[in-house]
Amino acid sequence: MAIKDLNDFELRLLKWISASDFIEVPWSTKRAADAFKVTEKEVYEALSSLTFKVKDNIQIFYEDGEIRIVGEV
């Protein structure tokens, strides 16, 4: 799959992740949900979808008790 296969929210989320520093600043699903005015469940579903649809464009890992995310559009 490719970026063209993302829905609008998935693409906006990936762009937001790409423009942000979720290495130094730990990821917060609640903050993402608030920023996009969606539920936390919708954020989790979009993240899950991104790791399937564009797995070469996103990396999610756990470090120092926090989730870290790196993305590239």
The range of the structural domain enclosing residue 42 comes to 3-71
CATH code, 12: 1.10.10
Residue 1 has a pLDDT of 86
Residue 48 has a pLDDT of 97
Is residue 52 over pLDDT 90? Answer: yes
pTM: predicted TM-score of the whole model, two decimal places: 0.93
pLDDT digits (tens, 9 = 90+) for 14-45: 999 999 999 999 999 999 999 999 999 999 99
Question: Total domain count for the chain?
Answer: 1
Q: Is 62 exposed, middle or buried (0-12, 13-18, 19+ CB in 10 A)?
A: exposed
| Pair 61, 68: CB distance under 8 Å | yes
pLDDT band at 50 (very low <50, low <70, confident <90, very high): very high
